[in-house]
Amino acid sequence: MRKRIIVTGGAGFIGSNLCDYLLKNGHEVVCVDNFDDYYDPKIKRNNIEHALTHPSYTLIEEDIKKTEKILEQIHGNFDAIIHLAAKAGVRYSLKHPVGYEESNVVGTKKIIELAVKKNIKQFVFASSSSIYGNSKAPFKEDNIDLKPISPYAQTKLLSEKTGKEYAESGKIRFISLRFFSVYGPRLRPDLVMNKIAASIYQNKELNVFGDGKASRDYTYVDDIIQGIIKSLDYTKSNYEIFNLGNGNPIKLIDIIEMFESASSKKVNAVFTDSIQGESSITWADNSKAIKLLNFEPETEIKNGIQNFINWYLEK
């Protein structure tokens, strides 16, 4: 069934891939993005170059907090909002915490209020595995002893609490998806796989913080998108949290070795001090998403890395 969907942050890494998928499958998309300068806005404009030619795609270039201006540009009924927009970066937030609560918490509340005004029931929120901090792994959604250790993670937890308040009032259905280390084509330039590729193909140094044994539950972007799509049809409760992760944490040094094997080239790694505020492991217990959303991560890490390298070389 054709749906009309608003995607905030729709020009970013995950958002642009999501919008392309929605358009390809016959849906109508309104993308809201302010092209902030956390990284080069030209990258995001390149991400949506193809989507802009599609008759079912509309771009609203606006800050998510300026909902009055957004409301002026959207007309008719919508089936869902997928709220991906956020001030990004766990590591960056540790050094530059100013603005994260305003963009992420206040921004999320503004978009929820927009959903209420437009009577858009289904609200899908992009949360983060960083919420768990140094909690005991594997991470489960019912863990109440959450230990976010960065300003970014704290804003995601606060946003979930805001969403829960609105959901309990019956105004929206708030589905929070906690993403785990998403990677793939169009990956943000500040994320580690881009830096590994730059070390291999541009002879740049790769700073490895700590001993390289920190593990992440790397999840391919196509699998994340499938989880998002399936959450659009979830109606069993007004508030729910799902881990979207591969369920298989991998050490950074092993990821580096996979890149070296796939490229037949060496990474120029420079080991340095570890960073406080980053967890030593992320690991999704994804059994709830598998059971209730029929979530099925399909992309093996080696295949995903090869896909990423292919995209990187084409780019």
Domain that holds residue 62: 4-180+220-245+284-298
Q: In this structure, is residue 126 part of a structural domain?
A: yes
* Packing angle, helices 107-117 and 151-168, rounded to 10: 20
Q: In this structure, is residue 205 part of a structural domain?
A: no
Tens of pLDDT, residue by residue over 99-123, are: 899 999 999 999 999 999 999 999 9
The answer, as to whether pTM is greater than 0.85, is yes
Task: Please answer whether residues 103 and 86 qualify as being in contact, where contact means their C-beta atoms are separated by less than 8 angstroms.
Answer: yes
Kindly state the average pLDDT of the residues 182-203: 97
Confidence bin at 306 (pLDDT 50/70/90): very high
Q: In this structure, is residue 157 part of a structural domain?
A: yes
Tens of pLDDT, residue by residue over 37-86, are: 999 999 999 999 999 999 999 999 999 999 999 999 999 999 999 999 99
Q: In this structure, is residue 198 part of a structural domain?
A: no
Q: In this structure, is residue 36 part of a structural domain?
A: yes
Looking at the chain, how many residues does it have? 315
pLDDT at 278 over 80: no
What is the DSSP-derived secondary structure letter of residue 104?
Answer: I
Q: In this structure, is residue 117 part of a structural domain?
A: yes
Tens of pLDDT, residue by residue over 132-163, are: 998 899 999 999 888 888 999 999 999 999 99
What burial class does residue 56 get, using C-beta atoms within 10 Å of its C-beta: 0-12 exposed, 13-18 middle, 19+ buried?
middle
CATH number of the domain where residue 226 is located:
3.40.50.720
Q: In this structure, is residue 304 part of a structural domain?
A: no
Task: Please answer whether residues 139 and 282 qualify as being in contact, where contact means their C-beta atoms are separated by less than 8 angstroms.
Answer: yes
At 97 the pLDDT is 87
At 29 the pLDDT is 98
At 71 the pLDDT is 97
Instruction: Say how many C-beta atoms besides its own lie within 10 A of residue 54's C-beta.
Output: 16
Active site residues: 152
pLDDT at 276 over 80: no
Q: In this structure, is residue 290 part of a structural domain?
A: yes
Tens of pLDDT, residue by residue over 223-274, are: 999 999 999 999 999 999 999 999 999 999 999 999 999 999 999 999 988 8
Domain count, the chain: 1
What is the identity of the amino acid at 75? H
At 277 the pLDDT is 63
Q: How far apart are CA 273 and CA 279, in angstroms?
A: 14
